[in-house]
Structure 1
């Protein structure tokens, strides 16, 4: 089963935005790292059921503009338009190759996988792969898949907050089309709620909720983002 991995927040000032959240809710945040190949950097806030918030910032605009990574392309467009805030999220898998085979068999267009890495503050290197399925034209981008080499966690266990992810909500006016795209692409069980424009799917560490006309947000035990 897929898990919610992290939500990506476009930020002009990642450190300031991370501190604003962590100080308001008495949470712990940590520096992320620099993505030399993408021209970006990040700040992070980890939670106890293996998910986190990423504030993504722009460090080298020219490098970011030349990146072929769909997440960086989407971030750069979002950043240039001044639309700061949550704009994308990742679902974690331990079988990315299986999804690649599935996408091929179902003629689902995709880009990747893209390798990524960054150096943690303690000097260790964290590596991962990202896979970007392409949804139908006219819909918001589908979430992307991420597969970690090892476990993604901060250098110190004390930097993991006790709060847990409860739900992640995404919204679109084209809710029926987006629902079908999610079900088909990620092999989610088609769970319908009659008389409501709301659809819910269980994840390993929470719940994915699709609603009409709502932005991306995550809900934790004590706050929303």
Structure 2
């Protein structure tokens, strides 16, 4: 298991401004990741070092948006004003995670503007709708990982998470913390984050120093 990417939500009307703002702070351009037809969302991505990336995702005016856990969760976050949404861990074998959840992972895909298709399995999205401090989990079925889309110019150094219990309710707490390697977690009380749990900020090391995206 390893930290794969972090997700930031914005509205469809604001996604161009959001990727420009975040990209200018990072000194790195976002690329159009395409549409998730099964979930009713679309994203832009910025590659980072260590095989990681930042995703900016928005809901679409699409029937799937309100019919799938991911689409509904993204839409709800966008309606709340957007911002940091979740962190995602990838694994080479998602079966043990499926066993813990007691259900099968679902398959997802997105079609890039160049026509290529990325495919993966994911599980745990239902849980992050209510416990936003938790990550969800994926297994990539495609070899061309999104971190390869562009030149990585930054590295995740710290993730700030509002969580009073510090993942105490997660089945995967030890695996998550042990897989972070050089990424620090700073826990803050939800009372300091409008009483909301979840990601608060991500610290990125860039050629111009540490950039705090909040």
TM superposition score normalised by structure 1: 0.76
1:110, distance to aligned residue in structure 2 (A): 5.7
Distance 1:116 1:28, change over 3 A: same
What SS does structure 2 have at the residue aligned with 1:28?
A: coil
1:181, distance to aligned residue in structure 2 (A): 1.6
The structure number with the bigger radius of gyration is 1
- Of 170, 179, 184 in structure 1, the residue corresponding to residue 167 of structure 2 is 179
The yes-or-no answer on 1:4 pairing with 2:7 is no
1:154, distance to aligned residue in structure 2 (A): 5.6
8 A Cα contact 1:110 1:132, kept in partner? no
The yes-or-no answer on 1:33 pairing with 2:34 is yes
Looking at structure 1, the residues matched to 146 and 78 of structure 2 have their Cα atoms a distance apart, in angstroms, of 27
Aligned counterpart, 1:53: 54
For residues 202-221 of structure 1, what are the structure 2 equivalents within 5 Å? 202-204=179-181, 206-213=183-190, 214=193, 216=199, 217-221=201-205
Looking at structure 1, the residues matched to 95 and 105 of structure 2 have their Cα atoms a distance apart, in angstroms, of 9
Distance 1:94 1:151, change over 3 A: farther
Instruction: State the number of aligned residues.
Output: 199
Distance 1:210 1:92, change over 3 A: farther
Looking at structure 2, the residues matched to 50 and 211 of structure 1 have their Cα atoms a distance apart, in angstroms, of 27
The yes-or-no answer on 1:153 pairing with 2:146 is yes
What SS does structure 2 have at the residue aligned with 1:160?
A: coil
Aligned counterpart, 2:211: 223
Looking at structure 1, the residues matched to 131 and 40 of structure 2 have their Cα atoms a distance apart, in angstroms, of 27
The yes-or-no answer on 1:78 pairing with 2:77 is yes
1:79, distance to aligned residue in structure 2 (A): 2.1
Gaps of 5+ in 2: none
Aligned counterpart, 1:166: 157
1:123, distance to aligned residue in structure 2 (A): 2.5
8 A Cα contact 1:201 1:207, kept in partner? no
1:74, distance to aligned residue in structure 2 (A): 1.3
Aligned counterpart, 1:143: 135
Aligned counterpart, 2:15: 14
Residue deviations 1:129-172, cap 9 Å, x none?
A: 11117669x7546210011112413665xx12221111222112
TM superposition score normalised by structure 2: 0.79
Q: CA RMSD in A?
A: 2.8
